[in-house]
Each structure stands twice: as structure tokens, then as C-alpha cells.
Structure 1
Amino acid sequence: MHTTPLSPDDPAELGGFTLLRRIGHGGMGQVYLGESAAGEAVAVKVIKPTVVDSETRQRFAQEIEVLKTVWGPRVAAFVKADTESEQPWLATEYVEGPDLRRLLDARGVLPPLAAASLGATLAEALAGVHGQGLLHRDLKPANILLGPNGPKIIDFGLAVFAESSASLTAPNMVMGTPACMAPEQANGEKPLTAPVDVYALGAVLLFMTTGHYPYQADHVQVLFSHITNPDKAPDLSGAPEELVGLLSSMLQYAQKDRPTMDDVVAQCVKVIKAHGSTVAQARRRLVSLASSACEPHVFEPVPATAPSASETPVYAEATTALAPSQDAVAVAPTVPLPQQPVPAPGPGYTPTVAATTPAPTPAPALPAGPRRSAAARRIAAQLRETYASTAAF
């Protein structure tokens, strides 16, 4: 996972966790790589002081209560939290690997075998979440990390109880990320049910195999009008032939026409076997793509990948059953899509060093001290290497 150094304003410790690096940030706060006293790596999400109010605390507390009820090998586990501190924070299992958007930026689209493995694993995981009476509701590439043991789902902040009118939002509010949002979610329908996650997973798989989402537009309002138009088919151009049928069914406008998560697993396994592979072999192939793509870039100055307007979560009042006309979509401000960012350097990228640069002096041994985790030792070693390669002496 790409990390950056702490800033002078960042805390060095929080809730008993030593903060080592920055992982990422969003509108609500900052996420850090932290370490427990015993050396366990965690991801620590901290709410920014500028947005801390009673409503934010309530939403954050609800997110934590939901996360406590979600479990499974493909869900980043809850570790610890404090909603009453000056800066509320949440610690979860740290997954050492890129999110899917960064993976695509570094490696390009996934081959069919790897995509089928990704689909089978995530569908099985989401079936387990649904079995616990929950929905994710904001599945997208940035919320899926590809770690050493396969993909894991993070950020259940928008999760709600399935088949229930209970919600974390007001009755006429739409929350989610437009790029992967199902039509019923964009229409503000409630309660939402399991097919909303089936659609989102289909959008994720389409993006990972083609580089584009089911619908694209220059403005968010137009994008919503496409999503909520039952007569406008999703764009499946570029999708692998063996996955077109599955993606088409997952992205159906009507909920009843979408497959169940168990059906998605079965169809993905069928694709894997058609390639002459086992499920375990396909999983290893998927994981190897992540390690080869992102391992060299952890401490290089990689340009930040800015999400487009269609990938930015929205929280806005929705009209009832949005019509496909542009005038009926009043769920988000007009935001032009930014230009696509330049992809990160490829796996073989090495910073150019002038021929006259003297060989770096070996870094002195660190003084004796308490033992640190393997992750912390690796981070320290890579920091020393990076410093040595760029030092002027």
C-alpha cells in the first residue's frame, strides 16, 4: 500500500498505537499506518477537527457499531475505537497491498482469469456479509484492498441493515459513489436489498477489466440521469468475451434480473476452470499481480490518483424515483470531471541517478532498542535506502 511520511502536525501516538506513516485521506479525515505495543500493524482512521460535530460523531459511532458486527476472512477486522476523544478514531486490521484503483493505474486492466478470481472471492465475501443481515452500499475499487492473501473489503461506513427501513441517513437522502451506484440507490429507493451490492460488484469488475464504468458523463447530474434511465444500457465495450454475459446480468436495471452472489461465484469459477486453472491457482495469480505492481513504489514519489467526480461519494437530498431527464436529477452539484491522471511508473521503473553521483555511504547501524515488527523494520530499511540514493553526499 502506498504511504507517505507523517507531517509535523500529525500525532505520533493515538490510543496506544504508534503512528508510522500516512496511508490516505478523505473529506472526513486522515488514515495512518499504526503499530500496537506488541508490533501489530493497524490502519487508524482519524476524523479531522474541522468536521467534528455531534452529527459527525453520531455517524462515526454508527459506522463503528456496524463494523463490529461484520466479520469474515475478506473483511478488514475491527480492532479498537474511541468516538468520544477530541479527535474520534477507529483502528482496523492493516492490509498490506494496493486498492484496486491503484492496482489498475500501475498494472492496467486485469486479464480474465484474475478478474474471475477477484469476482468469485468478493462475491463469496459479500454473500457472507448479506448473511449477517448487512449490505455494504458503497463498494468501489478504492474500498477493496489486494493483500498478500487476496482481496479484502474495507469501509463499511455506509452499510445498513438489509431488508430494513433503518438507515444511517434521512429518508430522502442518497449516499454512495455514483460510478458504482445501482439504479434503485440513485433513485433514493428504500429499503435497499442485496442486489444493490451485486450491481456495484459488477461495476467494479467492469472497471478492472476495461478501465471504465458502466456509465460515464462530464457532469454528475448527467451521470445520474444515465444510471436511472431503464432504456440506456451500460457500456460493456472492451469487456472480456467470457465475462460479458455475467457483467451484463449483474448490471441489469431491474433488481430481480440480477444474479445472486452465489450465482456470481459459480459463474466466475466456471470461467476459471475454462482457463484450465484451479481456484487456488487463479487466486495466487491475482495476488502476484498486486505484489509485482506496487512493491517497488511504496516509497517513491508517485503522483496521487485523484478520483473523478463519478468516484466521489455523494450525500445529497434525492427526489422521489428520479426520472431519466437531466432536470429531475437534483442529487449533486455540477462538477466537471478532471482530466485522467498520468499512471504511476511501471514495475521496472528505477529513478535515474547521474553517473557522477558517488556511491552512497552505507547507513550506520541503528542503536540497540526494542524489537519492532517485520513491517516496521522493512519500512525503516526502505526509508534508509531512499535517503541514501538521493543524498548529495
Structure 2
Amino acid sequence: MQTTPLNPEDPLELGDFELLGRIGHGGMGQVFLGESLGGEPAAVKVIKPSVVDSESRLRFAQEIEVLKTIWGPRIAAFLGADADAEQPWLATEYVDGPDLARHVKTHGPLPPVLTAALGAILAEALSAVHTQGLLHRDLKPANILLGPNGPKIIDFGLAAFTESSVSLTAPHQVVGTPICMAPEQAAGVKPLTAAVDVYALGALLLFAATGHYPHEAATPYMVFHLVTDPGTAPDLSGVPAELVPLLSGMLAHDAETRPSLTDVVQQCRSLIEAQGMKIAQARRRLTTHTADQRHGPTSAGAHSPTILWPAPANDPSATEIAPVDLDTPAPAPAEAPPSSPTTLVDPGPSAPETPVPGPPTQLDPPHGSRHERPASNRPPKDSRRPTAGAHTVRHSVQARRTAERLRSAYAAKAPF
């Protein structure tokens, strides 16, 4: 587990969750590693004070309602939230593993049979989400966590009820991540259908199998032009032959010609069985493969970091673009810089926290110690929220180890 210490201005608690460290941050907020009263680890997402307004609260409240509505073994579980708090927060299940984007960029593409296993797992999970009347609308590698029990889907911040007449975006705005966005979504077509998640899943699987996306360019505007142009086919270079029919169908420009999620599951299953393997075996092999690489050394000799949310530094964040912007002529291909997944979009504030170097210590602090910051780094007591009447701080093994590592990190940076 990789975290960074809390900043002096960070809260120590939100609701019934004690905050132990920082996991990552994005344009809208910060994500902390937290722990419930009963010792359950959680990812606690908080909106930045600078962006808290009526619209951001409304969007956050919708995300909370979505998470209350959906469930399933491949969905990070909802644990608690308060959209009306001074600092609106949302707690979900903590998945101890890297996201798919970071895994592929660190260890390389997945083998075809494991890509098919991932496709079957996620297609089945999305089918359950659709059955509950929802669309994800922002499926991408950064929103798939490779945990110890298999992949899980996170971040339903852009999810929408399929039959809802309420929209949280302006009439001429397009919201989402361009590199995984379906053409009709990029063009602002409404209402959207389940086919948008089929396309996004196809883009995700293409990245898992090759390390690149269907359309890549130097700016999100150029990507939008490529995605919405029916004459520009998705880039399937490097795709293993057995995956080409599946991915070409999922990435079809016309939504009506894409396969259903049930068809995707069946095609993935057929690919796995053609290799003489059962679907359950392929699923277990996928989990073992990602877990082994997560705990093993990387090519640089270091351990790959564990990031929960948001996207890694070179994974594009969600973008809001008005259709009028799409009319801006794109530069000629010869003038565009070489495309690569790392040069798509400047992510700005969506880069994750830099992990604290060194492995977690196994030493437990003396009995009765609290998860506190060193005195030199703590703000004056009168600048913090009063702690009188607060619940007793928990001391699970995980919490003690995390607190000890955070104290060690501060000590290493101290000038004395």
C-alpha cells in the first residue's frame, strides 16, 4: 500500500472515518486512505473547497445516489457519504491494487487470454449496472482497479440514469474522457444508450492488449475530431489476431452495430475456451498475473506503486468540451507530434501523489499511540476541528503500520 502523509491542513476525520494518509488527487478533489470505526479500510473522496458550489454538490450527490443504487462483486462498494457537509465526502471500498492504466504502462500489455478474461469480467459487471438502469459513461483503464480478488470498477461520477430527464451538463457540453469515448457521446447525442459503455470497454481492452487507444493525438480537441469522424477507423495495430473481430465490433462507429454486453461475454468466453482453458481458470490466472507483477520488482528494480484514484499522471482526465470547440480545424497530421499514450492530454492537477519511498515498516508503535503527525508539522490546536467527544482512534494492524510509516517519512525529511 502506497500513501503519502497527510498535510497539516487535511482533516483527521470525516464522518466516522479516520484519515490515515493521501492516496491521490484530481481536479475536483482529494482521496484519502481512511478507516472505519470497525477497522474497515476505505477510500475517502473529498471535494476541494475551491470547487465546492451548488453544481459540484449536485454532481457529487448524484454520484452518491448512483453508488447507493448499484451493487455487485466487481463494483467498489459504497460505505458512506455526506454531500451536505462543509467538505462533501464519499467513502467507498478500498481496493489494494493499481489501476489498469498504471499496470500496463509499468508491466506491458496483457496476454490475449487474460485480456479476454478481463473483458468477460467487466462486460458482465457493466451488464448488471445497465440492468439497474445506469450507464457508467466514463469507463477507462484508470477506473479499473486490479485488486487481490480481481478487477473492480470505480468512479461513477459521470454515471447517468438511462431514462432520467435530468442532466447535470449544459445543453452543448460533452463530458468524459476523449480517448475512450464513443462517437455519439463525443458528438453530444442524447439520450445515450448502453452502446457507449460497450465502446468504452472496447477502448479499454484495446489498451490492455496493446498499450494504445483507438484514437490518439496531441490534444483532446484533435482526439474528438478523430473519434467523431466516421471515415477514421480505430487504430488496431498490434492487436493479437484472435482479438481483432471482438475489438473491431466493439469499436464500431455506428452504435447499433456494436455487440451487446452479453455477446461480448460470450465472445470472450469462446476465445478463452479456444485456448483449452475454462473461464474460471482464466479469471484466476488474470488475478494471479496482476498480483504477482504488483508485488514483484519493476524493470527499474522498484516496486510498482499502488494508486486507487484518480488516473495516473499520464492518463487523461475527464474533459468538458462544447461542440463549437469541435469545429476548430485540427492541424494536419504531419504537424502533430508523434502520438503516444503519454502525450495525449496534459492532465494538470489529476496527477497522483508521489509515493513515499521505501517499503512499509513492520514495527508497531507503542501501545496507546495515536495516528498523529509530528508536532513540528501539526497546525495549532485552535486551527483544527475540535476533537472533544470524538470516538476513540482505532489501532488495527494496518492502521498502526500505516501510521508508523508516515511518521518515518516525516522523520526522514526532518532537518535534525
Shared topology, TM-score over 0.5?
yes
Unaligned runs of 5+ in 2: 297-302, 332-342, 348-356, 369-392
Contact in 2 for aligned 1:140/1:180 (Cα 8 Å): yes
Unaligned runs of 5+ in 1: 328-335, 341-349, 352-361
The 5 A counterparts of 1:314-393 are 314-319=319-324, 326=330, 337=344, 366-369=365-368, 372-377=395-400, 379=402
The 1-side partners of 2:257 and 2:288 are apart by 35
Quote how far apart the aligned CAs of 1:265 are.
Answer: 0.4
Q: Which residue matches 1:229?
A: 229
Q: Which residue matches 2:141?
A: 141
The 1-side partners of 2:276 and 2:89 are apart by 46
The 2-side partners of 1:96 and 1:113 are apart by 24
Q: 1:136 and 1:190, CA in 2 relative to 1: closer, same or farther beyond 3 A?
A: same
SS for the counterpart of 1:22 is strand
Q: Which residue matches 1:240?
A: 240
- Aligned-partner residue type, residue 373 of structure 1: S
Q: Deviations over 1:91-150 (max 9, x none)?
A: 111111111111112211111111111100000000000000100000001111111111
Q: Which residue matches 1:76?
A: 76
Q: 1:312 and 1:203, CA in 2 relative to 1: closer, same or farther beyond 3 A?
A: same
Quote how far apart the aligned CAs of 1:300 are.
Answer: 9.7
Contact in 2 for aligned 1:214/1:235 (Cα 8 Å): yes
2:274 is the alignment partner of 1:274: yes
- Aligned-partner residue type, residue 222 of structure 2: V
Q: 1:290 and 1:161, CA in 2 relative to 1: closer, same or farther beyond 3 A?
A: same
SS for the counterpart of 1:367 is coil
Quote how far apart the aligned CAs of 1:243 are.
Answer: 0.7
Quote how far apart the aligned CAs of 1:272 are.
Answer: 1.3
Quote how far apart the aligned CAs of 1:323 are.
Answer: 7.4
Q: 1:260 and 1:10, CA in 2 relative to 1: closer, same or farther beyond 3 A?
A: same
The 2-side partners of 1:368 and 1:116 are apart by 49
Q: 1:390 and 1:222, CA in 2 relative to 1: closer, same or farther beyond 3 A?
A: closer
Q: Deviations over 1:322-375 (max 9, x none)?
A: 679649xxxxxxxx74699xxxxxxxxx98xxxxxxxxxx98763224873353
The 1-side partners of 2:408 and 2:265 are apart by 43
Q: Deviations over 1:199-251 (max 9, x none)?
A: 00000000111110000112222211110011111000001111111000000
Quote the sequence identity (%): 60
Deviates more, 1:17-26 or 1:165-174: 165-174
Contact in 2 for aligned 1:138/1:158 (Cα 8 Å): yes
Contact in 1 for aligned 2:246/2:264 (Cα 8 Å): yes
SS for the counterpart of 2:246 is helix
Contact in 1 for aligned 2:363/2:401 (Cα 8 Å): no
The 2-side partners of 1:27 and 1:235 are apart by 29
Quote how far apart the aligned CAs of 1:39 are.
Answer: 0.3
Quote how far apart the aligned CAs of 1:77 are.
Answer: 1.3
Q: TM-score, normalised by structure 2?
A: 0.79
- Aligned-partner residue type, residue 366 of structure 2: P
Q: Which residue matches 1:306?
A: 313
Q: TM-score, normalised by structure 1?
A: 0.83
Q: How many residues align?
A: 361
Deviates more, 1:175-184 or 1:15-24: 15-24
The 5 A counterparts of 1:78-117 are 78-117=78-117
Contact in 2 for aligned 1:106/1:294 (Cα 8 Å): no
SS for the counterpart of 1:24 is strand
The 5 A counterparts of 1:12-27 are 12-27=12-27
Contact in 1 for aligned 2:46/2:88 (Cα 8 Å): yes
Instruction: Report the aligned-residue RMSD.
Output: 3.1
Q: Which residue matches 1:118?
A: 118
Deviates more, 1:248-257 or 1:362-371: 362-371
